[in-house]
């Protein structure tokens, strides 16, 4: 058949990504035969420059990974150059090599796309569903694709986030085995244009990583402050005046007074003991004196 649906997806990133993001990007390129690669974009450049890059690469879809602070990863999915585009925060990334799961799906085969029923209920999820279909779905009769369907891309919504999983279809009993990669997308905004424009939807449940880290620091500081206050209260209690307890009259009931002995006053001075000199010491001293005399005479 003829290759009619000529979707081409440009997958690249900004500078400053870590090794896990780089491996995830490489995994998506291997799973999507209709993708193209490009060099990393400088962080100083504006995002609308990506539209020109896609035009030069003859691509009409784009997956752009944006790294910030060397720890936060954002993913842009865009339909260039008209739009719309969506920005996500990527969390819990696990690559193919990291998972080490059993699986042997054919490289370049076309995937099935499985979506959660919630995607059909709300309008912003319906828009994202169409964007996912056009980006992740391999066109039929693509020159680099294989005419087989042996794995499934699943998009499920749990805890206000989109969970991406990749499963292989086993021929014997049609059971599914996860082969990776896997990641979680937390929606931030949907824009009307490509990498900008009016905001169509903003996620009210989204919390920025900076705010999340700030709340963690505040909770730790509050615990430390509470411990310090407890220590100060204990010090004040120790320094405070002790309350005197009144004597209990029943405590002395079973005490029997001891007999008082008469006090004897000694008026006469005690006799001193006679000093007994050691006779052996005197003999030793005399011997030493005699030895000295003999030595001087000699």
Tens of pLDDT, residues 69-104: 888 999 999 998 888 999 999 999 998 887 676 667
Torsion-angle region of 124 (φ positive above 0: left; ψ -120 to 50: alpha; else: beta): alpha
Residue 153 has pLDDT above 90, yes or no: yes
Tell me, yes or no, whether 282 lies in a domain. Answer: no
Tell me, yes or no, whether 272 lies in a domain. Answer: no
Q: Are 46 and 19 in contact (CB under 8 A)?
A: no
Tell me, yes or no, whether 273 lies in a domain. Answer: no
- Closest CA relative to residue 85, chosen from 200, 164, 186: 200
Tell me, yes or no, whether 39 lies in a domain. Answer: yes
**Phi, then psi, of 9 in degrees rounded to 5:** -115, 125
Mean pLDDT of the chain: 87
DSSP conformational letter for 41: B
Strands (DSSP E) found in the chain: 9-13, 35-37, 61-68, 72-79, 85-94, 109-115, 146-158, 161-169, 176-178, 182-193, 196-202
Coil, strand or helix at 274: coil
Q: Taking residues 20-48, what's their average pLDDT? A: 89
Supply 9's token pair: 């997806």
- Total domains in the chain come to 1
Tell me, yes or no, whether 176 lies in a domain. Answer: yes
CATH number, position 190:
3.40.50.10480
Q: pTM above 0.75?
A: no
Measured CA to CA, the distance from residue 199 to residue 62 in angstroms comes to 19
Tell me, yes or no, whether 24 lies in a domain. Answer: yes
Q: What percent of the chain clears pLDDT 70, i.e. is strictly above it?
A: 94
Tell me, yes or no, whether 160 lies in a domain. Answer: yes
All residues at 6 or more sequence positions from 108 whose CB lies less than 8 Å from its CB, including other chains: 33, 138, 144, 145, 146
Tell me, yes or no, whether 185 lies in a domain. Answer: yes
* Residue span of the structural domain in which 73 resides: 9-209
Supply 157's token pair: 């919504």
Give CA separation, 239 vs 226, 229, 230, 233, 246, in Å. Answer: 20, 15, 14, 10, 21
Torsion-angle region of 283 (φ positive above 0: left; ψ -120 to 50: alpha; else: beta): alpha
Give CA separation, 72 vs 18, 66, 75, 195, 205, in Å. Answer: 10, 8, 10, 18, 18
Residue 152: predicted pLDDT: 92
- Give the distance from CA 16 to its chain's centroid: 19
Tens of pLDDT, residues 271-281: 776 665 666 77
């Amino acid at each position: 058949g003829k290759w009619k649906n000529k979707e081409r997806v440009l997958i690249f990133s900004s500078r400053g990504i870590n090794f896990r993001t780089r491996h995830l990007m490489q995994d998506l390129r291997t799973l999507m035969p209709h993708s193209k690669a490009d060099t990393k974009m400088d962080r100083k450049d504006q995002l609308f420059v990506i539209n020109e890059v896609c035009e030069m690469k003859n691509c009409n879809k784009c997956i752009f990974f944006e790294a910030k602070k060397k720890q936060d990863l954002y993913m842009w999915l865009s339909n260039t150059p008209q739009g719309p585009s969506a920005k996500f925060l990527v969390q819990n990334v696990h690559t193919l090599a990291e998972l080490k799961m059993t699986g042997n799906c054919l490289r370049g085969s076309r995937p099935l796309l499985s979506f959660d029923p919630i995607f059909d209920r709300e309008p912003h999820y319906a828009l994202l569903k169409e964007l996912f279909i056009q980006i992740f779905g391999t066109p039929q009769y693509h020159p680099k694709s294989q005419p087989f369907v042996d794995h499934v891309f699943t998009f499920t919504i749990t805890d206000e986030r989109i969970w991406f999983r990749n499963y292989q279809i086993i021929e014997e009993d049609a059971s599914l085995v996860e082969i990776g990669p896997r990641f979680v997308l937390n929606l931030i905004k949907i824009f009307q244009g490509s990498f900008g424009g009016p905001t169509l939807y903003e996620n009210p449940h989204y919390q920025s990583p900076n705010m999340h880290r700030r709340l963690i620091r505040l909770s730790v500081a509050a615990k430390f402050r509470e411990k310090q206050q407890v220590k100060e209260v204990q010090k004040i209690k120790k320094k405070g005046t002790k309350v005197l307890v009144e004597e209990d009259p029943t405590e002395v009931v079973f005490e029997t007074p001891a007999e008082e002995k008469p006090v004897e006053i000694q008026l006469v001075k005690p006799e001193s003991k006679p000093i007994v000199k050691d006779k052996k010491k005197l003999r030793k001293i005399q011997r030493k004196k005699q030895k000295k005399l003999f030595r001087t005479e000699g």
